[in-house]
Structure 1
Amino acid sequence: MERKKILFVCPYPFDEAPSQRFRYEQYLSALETEGFQFELAPFLNLRAWKMLYKSGQSFQKLFWLVLSFIKRFFLLFQLYHFEYIFIHREATPVGPPFFEWAVRFIWKKKIIYDFDDAIWLEDPNEKGSLKARIKWKSKVKSICKWSYKVSSGNDYLAQFAKKFNERVVVNPTTINTDYHKEIKVSKREKNVIGWTGTHSTLPYLKIILPVLDELAKEYDFELLVISNQKPDFDVRYMRYIPWRKSKEIQDLNQMDIGIMPLTNDIWSQGKCGFKLLQYMAIQKAVIASPVGVNKKMIQESGAGYLAETKERWQSAIAKLLMDPSFREDLGKQGQEYVENNYSVNSNKSTFLSLFQ
């Protein structure tokens, strides 16, 4: 019997982007076990990806972008032996959905359309930029209509997709809990409040800096920031660690408390709570803004606090700073919740159902 073949069409190179790693890359071995074959087709190759976020070098960036569009066009002539085309977010970063249209109406292939943000909206962090103006946000609706199935990261995203397609699967972003159990670190002298995320989400961290400034007058703690880019702010109690895949869990384990502040807007409603999952998976107590799926995760897990106001953030952080045994209890509850609801093992059948 011939094995079914899947082409993963994605923005970034393999093992370089969190959204890809935790949406589908960690399920590739499960697909092989189930008898599928697959190939990966990133828009950017590794060299282009590394150059894109460096300052300057505009000509080289333009060269790689044009080359990437050309490669994407020629990919259309290589689709004949694939049964499923899994598209993560978009086939091209800007412009109309020509590739997706061709896959559906010329090749008549089954599109699995996967997204984990409210990408039909303008990202507040890109507002007014050239990138935002040429994104062609309306294509998300069209791709949903053309898809065999839509894979959405949470209920909010699924509600949007269901306006255009009945075959919508809530496929949450998940954690490989086996991997997250591997490394432990010794106790620190100071309590560590931790935050991790890509450079595009650093503005959310700024929201609670006034709260931390006030707490620093009374409590001795450290703010650990793990990101692929150094923050554009500096406070005396902050320590920055560049994100490193090889040290990811070891670095996260330096935290005692994990935080996830967000603005309360329609863009943030689409967030999939991944920071919370990372913290809870390694038994860290959490505090988060009650926005989108954050509220559900903390209420169901009992792993921490929801904080909407400055006063609530301050009291929640103070409580956890002063009570390490309570933090430990919350962390255990969070880890159990992730294992049962947001782990690769618990979600494997849902992911595989996309290809049925």
Structure 2
Amino acid sequence: MSIESPGLITVAAYGRGAASARVRLHDWVDHLQIPAVSWEYAGTRDAAPRTLGRRLPAAVRAEVRLRRDACRVDNSTVLLSRAASPFSNGGLESRLLSTARRGVYDFDDSLAHYPDSALRRAWSRRRVWQRSLASADQVIAGNATLAEEARAAAPAGTPVTVVPSCIEPSSYRPKSSYEGRETPRVVWLGSPATEAFLVAVARSLRACLDRVGGRITVISAGEGPLGALAPVADRVTWSADALSLLADADVGIMPLPDTPFTRGKCAYKLLQYGATALPVVASPVGVNRDVVTGCGGWAPATDTEWDDALTEVLTAPEYLRASAGRAALAHVQENYSFASWEPTWRKLVLG
């Protein structure tokens, strides 16, 4: 972990395999080709005790390096995503941000309402968030809901600015045909932690898929039970290559329960579907509502509405699905691409 006065240091408690660190830090640095030093803790996809236990020597080395080097960043800009260590209560993050020449704190989840386990509460995400907000020169929130929470918790006068999770549409294979087919296909893209949101609407989805003879592709690193969807589901392990399968589906879905935590979600799945020119169906929760409306999609709020919405899109004429897919792509290109937000991000992070 060299710290010979780099201009920019990106810091996260996860490696590139974690969606948040990849989307909020690494994708920006890679896209803009900015020289930067990356502090990725132990480089894992998550910070679960079981995961870190398998890489215990790397985790110990990361803790030693972080605590040694946190006071040596005074000539650099530090861009911190959520937390620097899974074993911190905010003191480490506060030191990094306050010592840096410019300390920028970025977050994309409602950390004020994060559903921590009993073990995780020993190192509270909420306390890390609060102390980071108090120490940052600039706060970047993934959506307006998160920005409101940050403004309420941060010291008066702390600049808080929204920069959504952005995407490069040209990196995705666009859907080219919207013809009806014998076996319609739904796709859900997510993580082990969010599979519960899919399972919560499994019965409604299953009813629709049985009616139209369809199946669902589940792209995730998870392996948990899928409830009523299991007989009609095809699991695909998440990878960058797996994203090419999005264009083979007829519709992309993002169900969410309505809770204080989920209202802070940044709708990144919808942006990925949109970049693929897929019609979208999503719960109208938090920023999902704005994205699905902009994409010309469907926004079911109840189990019955989920069944009806999916049935409608899967049985719609080809021209209607094509229109919805193209509208989704246009909305993502105009409002959520790197090109749309590059000037703002550069100014906030690099000054």
TM above 0.5: yes
Alignment equivalent of 2:326, drawn from 328, 332, 340:
332
Q: Which runs of 5+ in 2 are unaligned?
A: none
Q: Which runs of 5+ in 1 are unaligned?
A: none
Alignment equivalent of 2:67, drawn from 73, 78, 86:
73
Give deviations 1:58-95, integer Å, cap 9, x for gaps.
Answer: 4x44444333211211222542431x111011111233
Which residue number in structure 1 is paired with residue 218 of structure 2? 225
Distance 1:310 1:204 in 2: 13
Alignment equivalent of 1:155, drawn from 117, 126, 144:
144
| CA distance 1:65–1:250, change in 2 (3 Å) | same
Determine whether 1:242 maps to 2:241: no
Which residue number in structure 1 is paired with residue 83 of structure 2? 90
Distance 1:136 1:57 in 2: 17
| Corresponding residue SS for 1:162 | helix
Which residue number in structure 2 is paired with residue 28 of structure 1? 29
Distance 2:183 2:29 in 1: 40
- 1:101, distance to aligned residue in structure 2 (A): 2.7
Determine whether 1:197 maps to 2:190: yes
Alignment equivalent of 1:251, drawn from 234, 245, 249:
245
| Corresponding residue SS for 1:166 | coil
User: What does 1:70-149 align with in structure 2 at a 5 Å threshold?
Assistant: 70-82=64-76, 84-105=77-98, 107=99, 109-123=101-115, 126=116, 128-149=117-138
Alignment equivalent of 2:277, drawn from 261, 278, 283:
283
| CA distance 1:278–1:104, change in 2 (3 Å) | closer
| CA distance 1:158–1:205, change in 2 (3 Å) | same
Distance 1:108 1:196 in 2: 37
| Corresponding residue SS for 1:218 | helix
Aligned partner letter, 2:145: Y
Identity of aligned residues (%): 23
| Corresponding residue SS for 1:11 | coil
Give deviations 1:310-342, integer Å, cap 9, x for gaps.
Answer: 111111011111113311110100000000000
Distance 2:66 2:245 in 1: 37
| Corresponding residue SS for 1:190 | coil
Which residue number in structure 1 is paired with residue 311 of structure 2? 318
Which residue number in structure 2 is paired with residue 42 of structure 1? 40
Distance 2:57 2:177 in 1: 44
Distance 1:57 1:347 in 2: 35
Aligned partner letter, 1:154: N
Give deviations 1:175-227, integer Å, cap 9, x for gaps.
Answer: 11111147869976411111011111110001111102222342100111000
| Corresponding residue SS for 1:157 | helix
- 1:137, distance to aligned residue in structure 2 (A): 1.7
Aligned partner letter, 2:22: R
| Corresponding residue SS for 2:126 | coil
Maintained 8 Å contact 1:122/1:132 = no
| CA distance 1:331–1:30, change in 2 (3 Å) | closer
| CA distance 1:50–1:259, change in 2 (3 Å) | closer
State how many pairs are aligned.
339
Which residue number in structure 2 is paired with residue 305 of structure 1? 298
| CA distance 1:340–1:170, change in 2 (3 Å) | same
Which residue number in structure 2 is paired with residue 173 of structure 1? 165
| Corresponding residue SS for 2:38 | strand
Which residue number in structure 2 is paired with residue 353 of structure 1? 347
Distance 2:223 2:300 in 1: 26
| Corresponding residue SS for 2:78 | strand
Maintained 8 Å contact 1:31/1:352 = no
| Corresponding residue SS for 1:249 | helix
Per the normalisation by structure 1, the TM-score is: 0.87
Select between 258-267 and 344-353 the one with higher mean Cα deviation.
Answer: 344-353
- 1:50, distance to aligned residue in structure 2 (A): 6.5
- 1:135, distance to aligned residue in structure 2 (A): 2.3
Which residue number in structure 2 is paired with residue 12 of structure 1? 14
Distance 2:95 2:59 in 1: 21
After superposition, the CA RMSD in angstroms is 2.5
- 1:4, distance to aligned residue in structure 2 (A): 7.4
Per the normalisation by structure 2, the TM-score is: 0.88
